[in-house]
């Protein structure tokens, strides 16, 4: 099936911060992303509740 995966810039919020990474929930509650600290770009130190944004598309099984 030929389907267009389009990344969308989504706002979200930080749910959890560890020494290793963050867990964020996306606006619209359509997903949760966990990434290592390296993948987070920030001007201030990370805290739960901070607003974030990230590009995400639907997931396609290949």
CB neighbours of 61 closer than 8 A, spacing ≥ 6?
A: none
Q: Rule CB under 8 A: is residue 4 a binding residue for another protein?
A: yes
User: If binding is defined by CB under 8 A, does position 31 make contact with a second copy?
Assistant: yes
Residue 16 within binding range of a second copy, rule CB under 8 A: no
Q: Residue 54: which of a second copy, another protein, none does it interact with, CB under 5 to 8 A by kind?
A: a second copy
22 contacts 39 by C-beta, under 8 angstroms: no
Asked if residues 14 and 44 have their Cβ atoms less than 8 Å apart, the reply is no
- Does the protein bind a second copy through residue 54 (CB under 8 A)? yes
**Residue 7 interface partner, choices another protein, a second copy, none, CB cut-off 5-8 Å depending on type:** a second copy
């Amino acid at each position: 099936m030929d389907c267009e995966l389009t990344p969308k810039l989504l706002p979200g919020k930080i749910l959890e911060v560890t020494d290793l990474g963050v867990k964020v929930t996306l606006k619209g509650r359509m997903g949760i992303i966990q990434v290592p600290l390296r993948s987070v770009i920030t001007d201030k130190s990370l805290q739960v509740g901070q607003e974030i944004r990230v590009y995400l598309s639907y997931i396609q099984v290949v």
